[in-house]
């Protein structure tokens, strides 16, 4: 299954992390791959069926927009939302973002998954092993580089 | 761009099957291989292996060359490189975004602690 999972520990309590991730004010402070580039627009209505939209610029000057719908909102521990690129590049179809927050001693552990990244067939498949497959391929490519 | 997405679709669809991944892994270790050598470790019939090879060839992940009665299969890494680049873009996007989220949330936490004092 084509998905990407990142785990991060943050020195802040889950309620603060949850707010930073779900409010327009919070989102406008961190969204986007290039620090120093502003979030141009952020809208968020964090309840099941509510919409969000984020428009941001990357350091190459291009603008991108992603939007979707909240499917699950359980403060301060779980967020599931549909995801679609709505401007700035080809739209590879709808994917899904799942965020789990867990209280740990130093603050919060975030497990961030962007799933169903590519095509229905791979989304339906229960095969794991993506990262393993890619590790191998990377090793292979590194040899040839 | 449509072509690019079609190519990615084919690559991901080809890579999602464990037998096909095993075939690619074997090719990765051995470089070139004959079809019968490739079929050997799998508990499936030769026609089924040929079908998997067709899918891999359609995705551009292997090439096949016939010399006499032997078909030699070779790995072709370009589509995998493209698929990896694509996945890495997402990884970079979220990884740096989450770094920024951490900085922001930790500043809010410091403020909250200050207030609680």
pLDDT of res. A89 = 66
pTM of the predicted structure, to 2 decimals: 0.72
Q: How far is B28 from chain A (nearest CA, A)?
A: 7
| Owning domain of residue A88 | 4-144
**Residues 6+ positions from A17 with CB-CB distance below 8 Å:** A10, A76, A101, A107, A108, A110, B101, B105
Q: What are phi and psi for residue A56, nearest 5 degrees?
A: -145, 165
Q: What is the CA radius of gyration of chain B?
A: 22
H or E element in which residue A35 lies: none
Task: Name the residue of chain A whose CA is nearest to B1's CA.
Answer: A90
Torsion of CA A21, A26, A29, A31, to 10 degrees: 30
CATH of the domain at A16: 3.30.530.20
Q: Each residue's pLDDT tens digit in chain B (117 positions)?
A: 457 777 888 888 888 888 898 898 888 888 889 998 888 888 888 889 999 999 999 999 999 999 888 899 999 988 888 888 878 888 888 999 999 999 999 999 999 999 988
What residues of chain A lie within 8 A of the CB of B102, using their CB?
8, 10-12
Q: Computed over its alpha carbons, how large is the radius of gyration of chain A?
A: 17
Question: How far away is chain B from the Cα of A33, in angstroms, using its nearest Cα?
Answer: 5
Over residues A87-119, the pLDDT tens digits come to 776 666 788 999 999 999 999 999 999 888 765
Q: For the complex shown, is ipTM > 0.85?
A: no
**Residue B113 has what pLDDT?**
92
| A20, A31, A92 member nearest B108 (Cβ) | A20
Closest residue on chain A to B23 (Cα): A133
CA distance B23 to B27: 6
**Domain residues of chain B, as ranges?**
2-76
Number of domains in chain A: 1
Highest CATH level, class, for B2-76: mainly alpha
């Amino acid at each position: 299954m084509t998905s990407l999972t990142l785990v991060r520990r943050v020195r802040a309590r889950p309620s603060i992390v949850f707010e930073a991730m779900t409010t327009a004010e919070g989102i406008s402070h961190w969204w986007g791959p290039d620090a120093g580039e502003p979030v141009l627009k952020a809208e968020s209505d964090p309840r099941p069926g509510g919409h969000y939209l984020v428009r941001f610029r990357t350091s190459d000057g291009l603008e991108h927009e992603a939007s979707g719908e909240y499917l699950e909102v359980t403060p301060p521990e779980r967020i599931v939302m549909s995801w679609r690129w709505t401007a700035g590049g080809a739209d590879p179809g709808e994917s899904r973002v799942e965020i789990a927050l867990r209280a740990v001693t130093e603050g919060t552990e975030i497990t961030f998954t962007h799933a169903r990244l590519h095509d229905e067939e791979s989304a339906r498949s229960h095969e794991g092993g993506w990262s393993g497959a890619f590790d191998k391929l990377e090793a292979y490519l590194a040899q040839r580089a | 761009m449509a072509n690019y997405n079609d190519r990615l679709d084919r690559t991901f669809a080809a890579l999602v099957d464990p037998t096909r991944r095993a075939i690619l892994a074997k090719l990765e270790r051995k470089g070139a291989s004959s079809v019968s050598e490739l079929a050997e470790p799998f508990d499936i019939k030769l026609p089924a292996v040929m079908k998997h090879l067709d899918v891999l060839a359609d995705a551009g992940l292997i090439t096949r060359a016939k010399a006499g009665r032997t078909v030699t299969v070779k790995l072709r890494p370009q589509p995998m490189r493209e698929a990896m680049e694509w996945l890495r873009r997402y990884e970079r996007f979220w990884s740096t975004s989450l770094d920024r989220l951490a900085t922001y949330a930790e500043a809010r936490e410091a403020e909250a602690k200050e207030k609680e004092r």
